[in-house]
Amino acid sequence: MKTNNLAVIYARFSADDNEDNGGARSIENQIDLLSKYANKNNLNIVKIYTDIGKTGTNMNRPGLQEMFADMKKGLFNIIIVKDLSRFSRNYIEAGSYIESIFPAFNIRFISVLDNYDSSINNEDESIVLRNFLNSMYSKDIKKKIRKSLKRRVVNDDITSVVKYGFKKDKDGKLIIDEYAANIVRRIFKEAIDGKMPIDIARGLEQDKIYNPSSYKKYILKIKPNHEPNDEKKYKWDSSTIRGILNDYEYCGHAVNLVAKKIKVFDSKNISINNKRPIIIDEDTFTKAPKRFKKIKPQNNRYLKKLIYCKTCGKLMFYTENKRLTTSYYYCSNCHIKIEGNLLREVLYKDALDVIQSSIYSPKEFIKEYMKKYSKLNQRSELENNLKRVEKNIQLLFEDKFKGLLTDNQYLSKLKDLNQEYESIENGLNQLPKPINVELLQYKYYEYVKNINKEVKNEDNIIYSTINKVYVDCSEENPIVDINYIFTSN
């Protein structure tokens, strides 16, 4: 195998790994180890790929997939990992890459702690065996953990939190705290009498009853789970009231949470009877309501599941400030926003125009729509240019591999080609997708035939016409791309 020194590092840390003090620290250690190895062996590191919190039992990892994509572009010809388990714990997939795929791309694979270098010991079958053992170890340890947890959940009281109404005696035994237990009984009684959680909370506040966190701090003199606000030591939330009413442990049972929802009154959770002191009897617990109907104010300004971010494709969240009468659609991923009332006005007018056009001049509308979005020749030209750049990148790597280019010449030309590739790709992404003309015409005339010509409210006009809206806030003036009902797949 002809040697070259364009190397990359791959480092991975899984939440199941027992290394260092966390993923970031482990990644740093791996990169430091592999960088020193590369320097010692005169290997030029051109890129580092990482995955934090990702399992090694499959190849579906962002950092790894990015490395494979760059490998196909010919950006490097050496991969360095700390050990085989960092690359993969799936021995079949790992063996396929090491024995077939990497050699096909002229990739030299180095596993430092395994003392494996494919350019030296490419006949070493023990590397696949070691990966097989890694795979078996990964499966075995998960099975043992699951079995251990299952035994504990079914047989033991594993809840360590001392809840409001209980306390521990000098021997560490759980006993009833009569003062707090009476408050719990009061909460159940008032709920059975028909009071809503918010009303129960206000009554406790008026009577200057310490909330659970403040009670732990000021009365029991123990550190609470959440540090209370001294100014709000009598403040009770309705969520705290609902939590107490749903807590089956007040009946003297230990409840080990299994369900995702943090509610102990859930059939999926496992109850171990008669493990704790009894504050509330079963009859009282059953009579107390567990769910309370919320009365939500009607918000007629929000366009549900309609507004998406053009950059990342995610649904934009709606927020409003009632006092300032302002509203926004916000993308939490890209941190961009657009004024809500203005966007609604734009969409309403556009949908109204489409409806009116469909009634009075449908043929003219479809003609103009197709003229606006049919840019097939431009798309075809850009796609051809993209293929040309991909071919040039491959030829460039071949010239470097043959020794016709120096490292600096190779990296300089590769940078220019990558910039050109990215520019063409951005141009393609900004073009509308090609239109299936026959399907568009069919859907549009079905839309025209079924449209309700009677006067409708603003929401009905928007939802009957518009399928999705993509907002692009990358420029100074936002661009709104509207996807109509009859253009959706």
Q: What is the pLDDT of residues 95-122, one digit of tens each?
A: 788 888 898 899 999 999 888 888 886 6
Range in 69-73, 119-123, 285-289, 391-395 the model is least confident about: 119-123
Q: Write out the two tokens for 166.
A: 């209980």
Specify which of 70-74, 156-160, 248-252, 321-325 reaches the highest per-range mean pLDDT: 70-74
DSSP H or E stretch at residue 395: helix 376-401
Can you give the pLDDT at residue 22? 46
pTM attached to this predicted model: 0.34
Is the predicted pLDDT of residue 8 greater than 90, yes or no?
yes
What pLDDT, on a 0 to 100 scale, did the predictor assign at position 442?
63
Query: What is the mean pLDDT of the segment spanning 290-305?
Result: 62
Contact in structure between 198 and 238 (CB atoms under 8 Å): yes
CA 239/CA 300 separation, integer angstroms: 27
Confidence of residue 126 (pLDDT cuts 50, 70, 90): low
Buried b (16+ CB within 10 A) or exposed e, 219-251: ebeeebeeebeeeebebbebebbbbbbbbbbbb
> H or E segment at 44?
strand 44-52
Which residues are registered as beta bridge partners of 484?
Answer: 466
E strands, 26-156, in order = 44-52, 78-81, 108-111, 116-117
pLDDT at res. 225: 64
Q: What is the pLDDT of residue 209?
A: 92
Q: Which tokens is 93 given? A: 């997939």
- Tens digit of pLDDT for each residue in 21-66? 444 567 888 999 999 999 999 999 999 999 988 888 888 899 999 9
Q: Check residue 179 and give its pLDDT.
A: 93
Phi, psi of 483 (to 5 degrees): -110, 115
Residue 229: predicted pLDDT: 73
Per-residue DSSP letter, 294: -
**Long-range Cβ contacts of 295-300 (<8 Å, 24+ apart):** 300/459
**Taking a C-beta distance cutoff of 8 angstroms, is the pair 207, 199 a contact?**
no
pLDDT at 189: 92
Q: Residue 371's pLDDT is what?
A: 63
Token reading at 89: 């714990």
Of the two residues 288 and 460, the one the predictor is more confident about is 288
For residue 1, the model assigns a pLDDT of: 37
Give me the mean pLDDT over the 405-416 stretch: 83
Angle between helix 238-245 and 178-192 (nearest 10): 90
Q: Tokens standing for 397?
A: 């790597």
In the prediction, which pLDDT does 33 show?
93
Q: Answer yes or no: is pLDDT of 78 > 50.
A: yes
For 178-232, what is each residue's pLDDT tens digit? 999 999 999 999 999 888 888 899 999 999 999 988 888 888 888 766 676 777 8
Token pair of 20, please? 């260092």
pLDDT score of 258 more than 50:
no
Q: Which of 68-72, 123-127, 355-359 has the lowest mean pLDDT?
A: 123-127
Nearest-angstrom CA–CA distance, 468 and 485: 8
Question: Are the C-beta atoms of 265 and 230 separated by less than 8 Å?
Answer: no
What are the chain's domains? 6-141 (3.40.50.1390), 166-287 (3.90.1750), 307-487 (no CATH)
pLDDT of residue 440: 61
Higher pLDDT, 332 or 24: 332
3-state helix, strand, coil in the chain (%, to 5): 50, 15, 35
pLDDT surpasses 90 at 458:
no
- Model pLDDT, residue 21: 43
**Structure tokens given for 298:** 């009607």
Q: What percent of the chain stands above pLDDT 70? A: 69
Asked whether the beta carbons of 54 and 17 are under 8 A apart, the reply is no
Half-sphere exposure of 415 (CA within 13 A, CB side): 7
Angle formed by the axes of helices 437-450 and 362-373, nearest 10°? 140
Neighbours of 317 (CB within 10 A): 13
Most confident of 20-24, 181-185, 240-244, 411-415: 181-185
Residue with tokens 């790929």: 49
Q: Count Cβ atoms below 10 Å from residue 191 Cβ, excluding itself.
A: 23
What pLDDT, on a 0 to 100 scale, did the predictor assign at position 46?
Answer: 93
Q: Please indicate whether residue 476 or residue 293 has the higher confidence score (pLDDT).
A: 476
Spatial CA neighbour of 358 closest among 451, 443, 438, 439: 451
**Residue 260 reports pLDDT greater than 50:** no
More confident residue, 186 or 171: 186
pLDDT at 477 over 80: no
φ, ψ of residue 448 to 5 degrees: the values are -65, -40
Pairing assessment for the beta strands 307-309 and 116-117 based on DSSP bridges: unpaired
Residue 70 — pLDDT band, cuts 50, 70, 90?
very high
- Between 97-106, 134-143, 196-205, 348-357, the lowest mean confidence (pLDDT) is in 134-143
Report whether pLDDT(138) > 80.
no
482 vs 437, more confident: 482
Confidence class of residue 355 from pLDDT cuts 50, 70 and 90?
confident
Instruction: Taking residues 402-406, report their average pLDDT.
Output: 80
DSSP state string for 230-289: GGGTT---HHHHHHHHT-GGGGT-EEE--SSSS-SS-TTSEEETT-S--SS-HHHHHHS-
Encode burial over 194-213: b for 16+ CB neighbours within 10 A, e otherwise.
ebbbeebbeebeeeebbbbb
Cβ atoms of residues 98 and 114 within 8 Å: no
As a whole number, the mean pLDDT across the chain is: 77
